[in-house]
Structure 1
Amino acid sequence: MRVPRARQDALVGSMAEYCRSHELQLSGVFTDRDAAVGAASAAFTGLLDVLALPDVYGVIAPTMSHLGPKTIAGERGRRIEAAGSRLLLVRKLRTTHHAVSRSGPVRRRHPGTTRVLDAESSGPRWP
């Protein structure tokens, strides 16, 4: 899926602002251009490799849909958490009830600025 450069820049800018306001450092952007590649795309595999580096806290995405279609996004979310990282969504899912975190309070691996990565799949879909 081709996304206009201005829209892509706006998404990255929004996530960078989110990181600044939450004392995080945006360290990299991983983008798949083909939605048909499945859960193990080259970009997602690279993201998982980077999550293994020291001082990487997690992954930031505008919404869960930026990780891919629903079934792929769910699998990718589980793989991010299995890697010991947090998945941070700029926009939370709208629910009719209060969501409760299963993983408990947020713990940082070290004090100060925390590094996060951005993962997008099949182009940005920010409404």
Structure 2
Amino acid sequence: MEPLTEHRPVDSPVVYGFLRLSSASAARQAALRASLAEYCRTHELRLSGVFTDRHTTTDPASAAFTGLLDVLALPDVYGVLAPALSHLGPKPLAAERVRRIEAAGARLLPARRPRTACLSTSRRETGHGRPGSVRVLDAES
């Protein structure tokens, strides 16, 4: 009889982080990196590196993002982790970057989900749209 999966050494899925920090303090940068590492620890992911955009840009092909796309082409890369979707840039820029991440065959994992998405998801899945009642189904942060 074979041992259960939990008894076999299994590699954690590889992810790369992405931060957009144009004017963040060193303490804020360290805190965001630590939050990515903690997210990976609790979700059994392996954070292999973090790419950081340090300049405000509307160009989806910044140096940091281009580097991220390069590593997504490596074998066995699962996805991209960001503290929130806002780290990909303003909405039009973020939409283009999401498209490029998905085109590379990777998953985008926002550590903090938008609040409006949580409300609409919980109401849709539970079938209860009563005002003032919100049921939390997936609390990740």
The TM-score, its normalising length taken from structure 1, stands at: 0.74
Specify every segment of 5 or more residues in structure 1 that has no aligned partner in the other structure, as ranges: 101-127
1:19 aligns with 2:40: yes
Residue type at the aligned position of 1:93: P
Q: Which residue identity does 1:4 align to in structure 2? A: S
Give deviations 1:13-65, integer Å, cap 9, x for gaps. Answer: 01100000000011111111111251111110110000000111000001100
**Structure 2 residue 77 is the aligned partner of structure 1 residue 44:** no
Q: CA RMSD for the aligned pairs?
A: 1.5
Structure having the higher helix fraction is 2
Q: Give the AA of the match of 1:58.
A: G
Give the equivalent residue in structure 2 for 1:82: 103
Question: Greater RCO between the two (CA within 8 Å, min separation 6)?
Answer: 1
What TM-score, normalized by structure 2, do the two folds share?
0.67
In structure 2, which of residues 69, 73, 88 is the aligned counterpart of residue 67 of structure 1?
88
Give the corresponding residue for 1:122.
Answer: none
User: Residues 51 and 65 of structure 2 are in contact (CA less than 8 Å); yes or no, is this contact kept in structure 1?
Assistant: yes
- 1:98 and 2:121 are equivalent in the alignment: yes
Q: CA deviation at 1:98?
A: 1.2
Query: Structure 2 unaligned runs (5+)?
Result: 1-21, 125-141
Q: CA deviation at 1:2?
A: 2.6
Aligned residues: 100
Given the alignment, which residue of 50, 55, 70 partners 1:29? 50
How many percent of aligned residue pairs carry the same amino acid? 66
Following TM superposition, the consecutive aligned residue runs of length 4 or more in structure 1 with deviations greater than 4 angstroms are none
Q: Which residue of the partner structure matches residue 123 of structure 1?
A: none
